[in-house]
Amino acid sequence: MKIRKETPADFHDIWKLNAAAFEREVEANLVNILRVSGMEYISLVAEKNRDIVGHILFTPVELEGDNSVTKLIGLSTIAVKPHLQKQGIGSRLIEQGIECCKSEGYDAIFVIGHPNYYPRFGFLPSVDYNFVSEYDVPDDVFMVLELNKGCLKEKQGKIKYHEAFSSV
């Protein structure tokens, strides 16, 4: 299996994969909306025998009121083909995704997700760093991974995702 950046030829398969994994079209449509929103993004696919079996998308987030140069990104969606889940594909996508965010100069990654899953990749509860989500979610599901050690020191506040997330 290979992890690589998406190409336009993958767009339809990525849509189908997200719709199948989430069992609805909302997240699949969100991926399309974010892609054309004009912001930078990191979108990777897991490909096995020429089949797209996994997808991960990262899009920038902002710390409300922060005008510094700190580059923050969010793990926006991750999906693995239902019959291939729990075989490590999601983990490979997250690990490669983290490396990609690092190499593209991001300082930290935020995620809203399963509190038993993301800590294994180094994510910690965002409240430990005094960050809150704009969404009403339990403290332990809103997590952050500092890529540039110390960059989050002295920072605090509300993390905001692209407005398209509010429509889902």
Ligand X SMILES: CC(C)(COP(=O)(O)OP(=O)(O)OC[C@H]1O[C@@H](n2cnc3c(N)ncnc32)[C@H](O)[C@@H]1OP(=O)(O)O)[C@@H](O)C(=O)NCCC(=O)NCCS
Chain residues in the site for ligand X (CB under 6 A): 21-22, 77-80, 85-91, 113-114, 116-117
In the complex with ligand X, the residue whose CB is nearer, 67 or 116, is: 116
- What the block records as the tokens of 106 is 């991001």
Q: Minimal distance in Å, beta carbon 91 to ligand X? A: 3
- Let me know if 36 is exposed, middle or buried by CB neighbors in 10 A (0-12, 13-18, 19+): exposed
List the one residue out of 111, 135, 137 whose CA is nearest residue 124.
Answer: 111
Q: Minimal distance in Å, beta carbon 156 to ligand X? A: 25
Inter-CA distances, 132 with 54, 116, 118, 166, Å: 29, 19, 17, 16
In the complex with ligand X, the residue whose CB is nearer, 59 or 77, is: 77
In the complex with ligand X, the residue whose CB is nearer, 139 or 157, is: 139
Q: Minimal distance in Å, beta carbon 19 to ligand X? A: 10
Instruction: Output the residue with the shortest Cβ distance to ligand X.
Output: 90
